[in-house]
């Protein structure tokens, strides 16, 4: 049974158009022009309990608008949305206790107070018992390694520490459903990896259902088996990530480090040489020929190191969009 059900969801916005200058302002007093923007266009999908789904697409594709409809922050123009058997826009207390919306670009902690003060406030808002609150704080702060910053003013914390505390603040009530909108934005590589590990562990440990948007394809690659790709408000793909990679990536990437330099034209016999320098080469080789080619290269040349990798998810998604238009 689906925990999240979206059917024919459409959301449009009207915005006021004003001509520049004083004359434009005067004209607008008597006649205003509006333009309609279709942010989400008749989309449908379902998510089962415990799934961790990537929701990806370019800027302006409709990702954040969809999450806001799912969390009840905005009302759909048409269509139906059900989350845990609730209509989100009714904003019932029972519903709000089951969900959490984490937006990487929004601060929800009190800037001049330590994080613990905000955690205590959320504890009262969500009516969390003292013993449960202490257990949750202990578990989450240990997982995220932030026990030593809980009593320091938020404005004095680093971006990574603040983001971790923002996440804890949204999980005080142990939500069953997480809507994560760019949770790793602005963080360094190490902090991004730490947050990914936390999200993965939270999903497994608490059987949480998670819908994740991100421009960092590494987030999607490491966390999500299933992806929903949206563009111009329409769903372009909904399915497992692995088949998408296989379909739009005909090559694998072979990187070799050699003890004795190999002429570039020799390496071209095995595939497309993408990078070449003294002692190192990166070659795109046919997926079907991977085993044969790597064995041939290892037998023929004095190889110090080699790796065979899938192409980046960015390349896969780029090729997907190129073939869709």
pLDDT at 105: 66
Residue with tokens 């004003």: 18
Element (H, E) at 78: strand 78-83
Residue 99 has pLDDT above 90, yes or no: yes
Which residues on neighbouring strands pair with residue 293, listed in sequence order?
none
Band the pLDDT of 324: cuts 50, 70, 90: low
- Tell me the CA distances in angstroms from 199 to 89, 156, 219, one per residue in order: 26, 25, 10
Question: Which class for 66: exposed (0-12), middle (13-18), buried (19 or more C-beta within 10 A)?
Answer: buried
Residue 222 has pLDDT above 90, yes or no: no
Report the side by side order of strands in the sheet with 33-48: 33-48, 2-17, 78-83
Element (H, E) at 17: strand 2-17
Answer yes or no: are the C-beta atoms of 101 and 170 closer than 8 Å.
yes
Element (H, E) at 132: helix 130-144
pLDDT digits (tens, 9 = 90+) for 230-288: 988 999 999 998 888 778 777 888 888 888 888 888 888 888 888 888 788 888 888 88
The CATH number given to 2-12+41-245 is 3.40.50.300
Return mean pLDDT, the chain: 87
- In percent, how much of the chain has pLDDT > 90? 41
Band the pLDDT of 304: cuts 50, 70, 90: confident
Residues belonging to the chain: 325
The CATH number given to 251-309 is 3.30.70
Please report, for the chain, the start and end positions of each structural domain, with discontinuous segments joined by +.
2-12+41-245, 251-309
Residue 209 has pLDDT above 90, yes or no: yes
The Cα 157–Cα 144 span in angstroms is 14
Answer yes or no: are the C-beta atoms of 324 and 234 closer than 8 Å.
no
Range with the lowest mean pLDDT among 158-162, 258-262, 313-317?
313-317
- Tell me the CA distances in angstroms from 48 to 6, 52, 270, one per residue in order: 12, 9, 44
Band the pLDDT of 177: cuts 50, 70, 90: very high
Nearest to 77, CA basis, from 67, 87, 69: 69
Band the pLDDT of 114: cuts 50, 70, 90: very high
Strand, helix or coil at 192? helix
pLDDT at 195: 84
Residue 24's CB: how many other CB atoms inside 10 A? Answer: 11
pLDDT at 10: 96
The Cα 149–Cα 79 span in angstroms is 44
The Cα 176–Cα 143 span in angstroms is 18
């Amino acid at each position: 049974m689906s925990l999240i059900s979206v059917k024919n969801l459409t959301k449009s916005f009207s915005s006021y158009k004003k001509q520049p200058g004083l004359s434009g302002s005067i004209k607008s007093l008597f006649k205003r022009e509006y333009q309609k923007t279709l942010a989400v266009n008749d989309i449908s999908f379902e998510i089962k309990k415990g799934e961790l789904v990537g929701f990806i697409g370019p800027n302006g594709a409709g990702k954040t608008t969809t999450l806001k409809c799912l969390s009840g922050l905005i009302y759909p123009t048409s269509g139906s949305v059900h989350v845990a058997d609730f209509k989100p826009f009714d904003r019932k207390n029972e519903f709000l206790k089951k969900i959490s919306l984490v937006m990487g670009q929004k601060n929800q902690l009190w800037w001049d107070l330590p994080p613990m003060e905000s955690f205590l406030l959320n504890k009262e808002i969500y009516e969390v018992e003292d013993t449960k609150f202490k257990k949750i704080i202990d578990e989450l702060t240990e997982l995220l390694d932030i026990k030593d910053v809980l009593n320091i003013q938020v404005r004095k914390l680093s971006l990574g520490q603040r983001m971790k505390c923002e996440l804890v603040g949204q999980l005080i009530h142990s939500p069953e459903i997480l809507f994560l909108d760019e949770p790793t934005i602005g963080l360094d590589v190490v902090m991004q990896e730490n947050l990914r590990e936390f999200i993965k562990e939270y999903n497994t440990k608490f059987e949480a259902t998670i819908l994740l948007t991100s421009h960092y394809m590494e987030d999607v690659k490491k966390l999500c088996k299933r992806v929903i790709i949206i563009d111009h408000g329409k769903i372009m793909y909904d399915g497992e990530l692995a088949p998408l990679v296989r379909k739009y990536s005909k090559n694998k990437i072979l990187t070799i480090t050699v003890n004795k330099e190999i002429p570039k034209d020799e390496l071209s016999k095995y595939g497309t040489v993408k990078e070449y320098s003294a002692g190192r080469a990166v070659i795109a080789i046919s997926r079907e020929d991977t085993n044969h080619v790597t064995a041939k290269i290892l037998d023929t040349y004095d190889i110090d190191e080699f790796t065979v990798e899938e192409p980046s998810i960015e390349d896969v998604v780029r090729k997907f969009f190129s073939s869709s238009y």
